[in-house]
Amino acid sequence: MPVQAKIGPSILNADLADLANESQKLINNGADYLHLDVMDGHFVPNLTFGHSLVKCLRNKIKKEFFETHMMVSRPDQWIEPMADAGVDLYTFHIEPVMAEVSSVCRKVRESGMKVGLALKPGTEVQVVEKYVDMADVVLVMTVEPGFGGQSFMGDMMPKVQWLREHYPNLDIEVDGGVGPKTIEACAKAGANMIVSGTAVIQASNQRDVINSLRSTVQKYTNNTCTHVH
């Protein structure tokens, strides 16, 4: 099955006091999934929100695909609560749990969620090699995790290329500074799951930006595999 272009706005830049409406608006404007940034104030300096907010959001938005990007020191601690909150894809950073990646993957899978492995910019992409069979998605961070509004790191693209060459059917996600100006580099390298925060949330026409990101990705995925709708 060829990989599909999917656009997942990061709701971190949205009005968090009106999250359900903001999220629904993104879905109505064509988002394929929602990317929820969870930060613990430890693995990254900032704090965002936890499973109780995700659960409230799930009560309002019943069916859409939720990914939580767990920028936390102890990803195993939140597996059950996030599964209970209705999360579909649990993407965690491997850096704080290098010795336990396999067991965290297993627990995530057993809880009924899909598994995502996230890599900070300083982490070599080859370290995921031994875990890739256990994962549904690999997320290559294109900024340092923990802060919105940073500039896109184009020098992360070789990681994406390496993953695409070695794992043609893997969902490869990029997150950080991705928008209309940087999407071409991501798509060309082989990313098919695109997290975009500010560029989508603050756009005067969200639908246009989402469509344009998607069509750029499709242009490149279609070059390497059959056409996907």
Are the C-beta atoms of 32 and 200 separated by less than 8 Å? no
Query: How far apart (Å, rounded) are the C-alpha atoms in residues 63 and 36?
Result: 15
Show binding-site residues for a divalent metal cation: 35, 37, 69, 175
Active site residue 15: no
Looking at 40, 88, 171, 175, which residue is catalytic? 175
Looking at 32, 37, 40, 171, which residue is catalytic? 37
| Burial grade of 66 (CB within 10 A; 0-12, 13-18, 19 or more) | buried
Give the list of residues 6+ apart from residue 49 with CB closer than 8 angstroms, or none: 16, 36, 38
Query: How far apart (Å, rounded) are the C-alpha atoms in residues 203 and 27?
Result: 14
Show binding-site residues for substrate: 10, 69, 146-149, 177, 197-198
Using DSSP, state whether 150 is helix, strand or coil: coil
Show binding-site residues: 10, 35, 37, 69, 146-149, 175, 177, 197-198
The residues pairing with 6 across neighbouring beta strands, listed in sequence order, are 193
Tell me the two tokens of residue 79.
Answer: 């597996």
Query: How far apart (Å, rounded) are the C-alpha atoms in residues 149 and 107?
Result: 33
Active site residue 133: no
| Residues taking part in catalysis | 37, 175
